[in-house]
């Protein structure tokens, strides 16, 4: 059975709420410890309570509505850059509310200091993200349905408590899945099962491998490796601001985006030079490559549908993080608007970075080398079966690295076969990883939003391509290498794909600032491993996730353009986000620009990744390109 867009929205409405809390202090807002708040500081627990109370007291607030998120409404960039330490700050809350009974979505903005509503608007034709209370309610709704119970009994399952319900946002073809061949469509507004699809039983796989040490067994452990900092850590934290080696930055834990970096700068000659105003994971999409009816719809927008920040898990000391890590809590708002604390949501630690620089002088037999230190700040989110750690790594030489670590359990598909050679020639959409279990091929796409302010907000975007110099008088010995630098003058030209033959990179340049050598100061985005999307350009998933059409985008700064697939990707019609924003083709020369980098991973499963995946690392670097006049790490001591 298939449904029109309107029917899917009516039957399967899911809550998306992008709330931003309000401030209640009558004077200068402060934290619980009495510290004056910075304009970018996340909401305190008390602010979350006030935000929910102000909104819920409105006469137009629909009874029974849910808050899917409450977060700070970040002030404009000019307000942040003009803020003086200790000065009063104006704090506002932005909220997205789902009216479950009416299947309506509202956005609200509240002035917290004044305790009054600034705006209230119904947003037509959108669905908010899936909420925690929906995930909690879903198993009982499904298990109470007689049709589902009968499908389980056909498979010899009578103890329903042993069945796990795996809830998915519906995309454009609503489905909820657990046992292979059984899919249930649920209206989460009415808490009723709409449809049960049973495409036939396949053998249940043997019991899965448990992952505790008693179940797995253990090898002879390696001898202890100790990380010691007898004088303590080298970084300092004041509120949300971190000082480490010449780096200065702020961080927040956002319920939707996860860990966000703000106002990143580097100390040079006694002043803090700005590099990045804001860096975040803007969106993720994971399309699966099995085209069977019960699999073709599977694609998860892990940021915009599920709120990757709120799905963060508490970091376990000495396993998820090394023993010298500082672990910090985060405050979020629940569906009821009440605050809760996630313990150990963010980790920050120093680690050995290998050799920083070296030269051995053979004539004098003198060696000068330096050992590198790195600062890592990270969080870990568990989204259904997958676990993702996002690490931002600060290097002493001015390099900032993003590293995504993928682990967890591959999404399994039940099959009749127990051996790989039993599969027919047409079975090409997955790999057998255990008896009766196939892991379908799939891809992961991450969109990073990088609001670079290289020595200030007015920048330009250049592309660098390298090739062999053509034979001729200027290349008589056929060894010439040419790097061509092209300015991407507008948003249309700045839609780019990677090129290995051209060693393509992109550079954000300040056309009004120069180093001592006359180079315009810049930072270069250097891609790591990447992939092209294999789902068709006209497929519904690809149209909803238009950001994956290019590896690189650049746009003019807009405060409300934060999400690469749009604010409301849940059941979206397609075309929102980056494709819509660049349609006006704005000028990018000497402007406040934002670059967006799409990182793709193509996952062809292996038996060695079952029952749990060894970590895979993917990422990119932002490296200084003429930002300094010489190696900025020369002064690192032995």
Q: Is residue 51 within 8 Å of 333, Cβ to Cβ?
A: yes
CA angle 146, 147, 148 (to 5 degrees): 90
Spatial separation of the C-alpha atoms in residues 497 and 402, rounded to whole Å = 19
Backbone angles phi, psi at 89, to 5 degrees: -125, 145
Q: Is residue 96 within 8 Å of 19, Cβ to Cβ?
A: yes
Residue 527 tokens, joined: 């891609």
pLDDT score for 200: 85
Q: What would the pLDDT profile of 256-277 be if each residue is shown by its tens digit?
A: 999 999 999 999 999 999 999 9
DSSP label at 161?
Answer: G
How does 519-550 read in b/e, with b if 16+ C-beta sit within 10 Å?
ebbbbbbbbeebbebebeeeebbbbbbbbbbb
> Starting from the edge strand earliest in sequence, which strands make up the sheet with 192-198, in order?
176-177, 182-187, 192-198
Q: How far is CA 87 from the centre of its chain?
A: 32
Q: HEC string of 21-88?
A: CCCCCCCCCECCCCCECCCCCCCCHHHHHHHHHHHHCCCCCCCCCEEEEEEECCCCHHHHHCCCCCCC
The residues with which 312 forms a beta bridge, in sequence order, are 381
Q: Which residues contact 84 (CB under 8 A, 6 or more apart)?
A: none
Spatial separation of the C-alpha atoms in residues 630 and 536, rounded to whole Å = 47
Q: Is 542 helix (H, G, I), strand (E, B) or coil?
A: helix
Q: Is residue 549 within 8 Å of 537, Cβ to Cβ?
A: yes
Q: Is residue 133 within 8 Å of 191, Cβ to Cβ?
A: no
Q: HEC string of 487-501?
A: ECCECCCCCECCCCC
Residue closest to 260 by CA, chosen among 395, 88, 83, 451: 451
Spatial separation of the C-alpha atoms in residues 381 and 286, rounded to whole Å = 15
Helix axes 132-143, 146-154, angle to 10 degrees: 70
Cis geometry, peptide bond prior to residue 387 (ω within 30 degrees of 0) = no
Q: Which residues contact 39 (CB under 8 A, 6 or more apart)?
A: 74, 75, 79, 80, 83, 89, 90, 91
- Length of the chain equals 638
Q: How far is CA 438 from the centre of its chain?
A: 27
CB burial of residue 359 (10 Å; 0-12, 13-18, 19+): exposed
Q: How far is CA 464 from the centre of its chain?
A: 27
List of domains in the chain: 17-123 (3.10.450.40), 132-198 (3.10.450.40), 236-409+442-460+517-603+612-624 (2.70.98.20)
Backbone angles phi, psi at 239, to 5 degrees: 65, -115
Spatial separation of the C-alpha atoms in residues 497 and 487, rounded to whole Å = 15
Distance spanning both ends of the chain, measured CA to CA: 69
Q: Is residue 182 within 8 Å of 148, Cβ to Cβ?
A: yes
pLDDT score for 445: 98
pLDDT score for 424: 61
Backbone angles phi, psi at 491, to 5 degrees: -65, -30
Report the half-sphere exposure of 286 (CA within 13 A, side-chain side). 23
Q: Which residues contact 559 (CB under 8 A, 6 or more apart)?
A: 74, 76, 77
Taken in order 226, 229, 235, 239, is the CA torsion positive or negative?
positive
Q: HEC string of 198-221?
A: ECCCCCCCCCCCCCCHHHHCCCCC
Catalytic (active-site) positions: 302, 386
* Parts of the chain with a pLDDT under 50: 1-29, 32-33, 173-176, 178, 426
Spatial separation of the C-alpha atoms in residues 580 and 568, rounded to whole Å = 13
Spatial separation of the C-alpha atoms in residues 222 and 225, rounded to whole Å = 8
Residue closest to 350 by CA, chosen among 327, 373, 317: 373
pLDDT score for 21: 27
Spatial separation of the C-alpha atoms in residues 197 and 199, rounded to whole Å = 6
pLDDT score for 180: 76
Cis geometry, peptide bond prior to residue 81 (ω within 30 degrees of 0) = no
Q: Is residue 111 within 8 Å of 92, Cβ to Cβ?
A: yes
Residue 551 tokens, joined: 């590896």
Strands (E), 562-612: 593-603
Spatial separation of the C-alpha atoms in residues 636 and 143, rounded to whole Å = 62
Q: HEC string of 103-137?
A: CEEEEEEEECCCCEEEEEEEECCCCCCCCHHHHHH
Residue 134 tokens, joined: 């929906």
Spatial separation of the C-alpha atoms in residues 312 and 344, rounded to whole Å = 10
DSSP label at 222?
Answer: P
pTM confidence score = 0.92
């Amino acid at each position: 059975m298939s449904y029109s867009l309107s029917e899917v929205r009516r039957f399967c409405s899911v809550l998306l709420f992008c709330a931003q809390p309000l401030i209640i202090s009558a004077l200068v807002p402060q934290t619980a410890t009495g510290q004056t708040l910075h304009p970018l500081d996340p909401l305190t627990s008390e602010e979350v309570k006030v935000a929910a109370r102000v909104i819920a007291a409105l006469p137009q607030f629909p009874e029974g509505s849910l808050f899917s998120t409450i977060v700070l409404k970040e002030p404009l960039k000019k307000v942040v850059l003009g803020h003086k330490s200790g000065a009063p700050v104006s704090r506002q809350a932005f909220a997205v509310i789902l009216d479950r009974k009416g299947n309506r979505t509202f956005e609200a903005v509240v002035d917290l200091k004044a305790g009054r509503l600034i705006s209230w608007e119904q947003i037509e034709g959108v669905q908010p993200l899936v909420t925690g209370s929906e995930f909690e309610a879903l198993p009982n709704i499904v298990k109470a349905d007689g049709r589902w119970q009968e499908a389980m009994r056909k498979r010899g399952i009578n103890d329903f408590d042993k069945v796990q319900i795996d809830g998915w946002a519906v995309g454009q073809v609503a489905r909820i899945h657990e046992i292979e061949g059984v899919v249930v469509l649920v209206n989460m507004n009415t808490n009723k099962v709409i449809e049960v699809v049973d495409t036939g039983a396949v053998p249940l796989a043997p019991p899965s491998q448990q992952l505790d040490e008693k179940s797995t067994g253990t090898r002879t452990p390696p001898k202890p490796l100790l990380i010691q900092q007898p004088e303590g850590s080298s970084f300092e934290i004041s509120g949300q601001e971190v000082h480490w080696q010449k780096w200065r930055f702020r961080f927040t834990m956002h319920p939707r985006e996860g860990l966000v970096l703000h106002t990143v700068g580097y100390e040079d000659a006694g002043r803090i030079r700005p590099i990045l105003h804001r860096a975040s994971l803007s969106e993720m999409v994971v399309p699966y490559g099995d085209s069977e009816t019960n699999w073709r719809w599977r694609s998860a927008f892990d940021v915009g549908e599920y709120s990757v920040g709120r799905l963060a898990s508490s970091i376990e000391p000495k396993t998820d993080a090394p023993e010298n890590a500082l672990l910090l809590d985060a405050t979020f708002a629940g569906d009821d608007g009440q605050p809760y604390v996630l313990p150990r949501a963010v980790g920050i630690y120093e680690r050995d970075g290998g050799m920083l620089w070296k030269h051995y002088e053979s004539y004098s037999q003198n060696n000068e080398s330096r050992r590198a230190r790195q600062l890592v700040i990270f969080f870990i989110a568990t989204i259904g079966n997958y676990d993702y750690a996002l690490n931002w790594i600060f290097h002493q030489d001015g390099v900032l690295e993003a590293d995504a670590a993928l682990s967890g359990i591959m999404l399994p598909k039940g099959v009749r076969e127990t051996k790989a050679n039993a599969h027919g020639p047409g079975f090409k959409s997955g790999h057998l990883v255990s008896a009766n279990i196939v892991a379908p091929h799939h891809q992961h796409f991450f969109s990073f939003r990088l609001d670079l302010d290289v020595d200030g907000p007015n920048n330009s975007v250049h592309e660098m391509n390298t090739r062999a110099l053509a034979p001729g008088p200027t290349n008589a010995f056929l060894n010439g290498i040419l790097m061509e630098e092209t300015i991407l003058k507008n948003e249309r030209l700045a839609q780019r794909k990677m090129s290995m033959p051209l060693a393509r990179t992109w550079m954000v340049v300040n056309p009004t600032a120069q180093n001592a050598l006359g180079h315009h100061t810049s930072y270069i985005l250097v891609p790591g491993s990447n992939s092209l999307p294999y789902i068709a350009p006209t497929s519904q998933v690809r149209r909803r996730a238009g950001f994956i059409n290019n590896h690189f985008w650049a746009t003019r700064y807009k405060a409300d353009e934060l999400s690469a697939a749009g604010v409301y990707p849940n059941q979206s019609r397609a075309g929102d986000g980056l494709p819509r924003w660049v349609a006006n083709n704005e000028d990018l020369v000497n402007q406040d620009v934002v670059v967006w980098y799409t990182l793709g991973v193509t996952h062809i499963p292996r038996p060695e990744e079952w029952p749990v995946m060894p970590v895979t690392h993917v990422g990119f670097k932002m490296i200084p390109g003429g930002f300094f006049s010489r190696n900025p790490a020369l002064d690192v001591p032995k």
